Structure 1
Amino acid sequence: MPYVNQRWLGGMLTNFSTVHKRLQRLKELEAMEQTGGFEGRTKKEILGLTREKNKLERSLGGIRDMAKVPSAIWVVDTNKEHIAVGEARKLGIPVIAILDTNCDPDEVDYPIPGNDDAIRSAALLTRVIASAVAEGLQARAGLGRADGKPEAEAAEPLAEWEQELLASATASATPSATASTTALTDAPAGATEPTTDAS
């Protein structure tokens, strides 16, 4: 799933055509490094290309596989990431965000009240959102249907990161079903579920 965990660069959404060109340059530099394209160059040229690759990796590495503008964004701190929220609002992209007491709820389409300063809180809410995305991808791929068959026609093909997320969610769904069955059968003989007594 594409992510940005460094400073949001202005124009990352509104000027995506230029950002996409920089992503192509990053992939080109990585391919050069892998195939030995740096050989035959001076140390100064190699150093310059390596610095360029590292800078692009640091700022754009999380969105390397993003081919188009996303259909929604998840923001942890709307005050710190006000540029991202503003760009999404300009493009009409829904914003899902954690809202602390110091945030403006009018800027967010789907607010989630919570503490955006605590790492544990942000990690928990991010995991919940990521699992919801995985469930949505499963439903979109037709795995959530009763007959288990994928739909005949898909609205659009899944991106590479979506396919990886879907594959990992599908793989983890099978062991978790087995684990829950095991947990139910391993209960002690005298154990029963707690009930509320009306008397």
Structure 2
Amino acid sequence: MPEFDAAHLRTALRKLPEKEKDALLLRSVRRDAEWRATLAYELLPEVTRDTVYEAVSGRIHELLTDVSGYQLARFLTKTLKKAIAEINYARRITGERALEIDLFAYLLRELFDNYSGQLDSQYTLFYKAVAKLVIRLIKLIQKYLHEDLWLDYESEIADWLRQLRARPHRATELGLELPIGLQP
């Protein structure tokens, strides 16, 4: 599809009659689920940050409870990618980094509460994915939240880093540099 200049597209949309604009909008909403969700979040009062959080955390919980199999660490790594995609979807819909941070914290809570034993698996990918997720959460918190709000996450992150450091052979084996904690 060729690229179109945004200014020309805007002027063309302004020239359209209201009836055609409405039809075009409805047709676009029917075709694109993400845009439909974004419009629902922006326009409907019953779709709030909390409802989006509940829906996405519910899907993450379903993804993690459906994990089973002989090579659990491998399946968890695949599921982790799907969960991260859900979190990114929620951020694109709402545009809120605080929601993204809360969902990453929820995901890490679920992983460390239910699957921390898999960090010792012979498949190092799960350990690496979880460590990168903790590092990503730390960077998001430092970049997008005020320092006063860091306290909400500080103890959990310290615990997660302690659990990751309890396996020193993994971090050095994979060349990961784990941060000390939430420090500016």
Give the TM-score normalised by structure 1. Answer: 0.26
Q: Which one has a bigger Cα radius of gyration?
A: 1
Higher fraction of strand = 1
Higher fraction of helix = 2
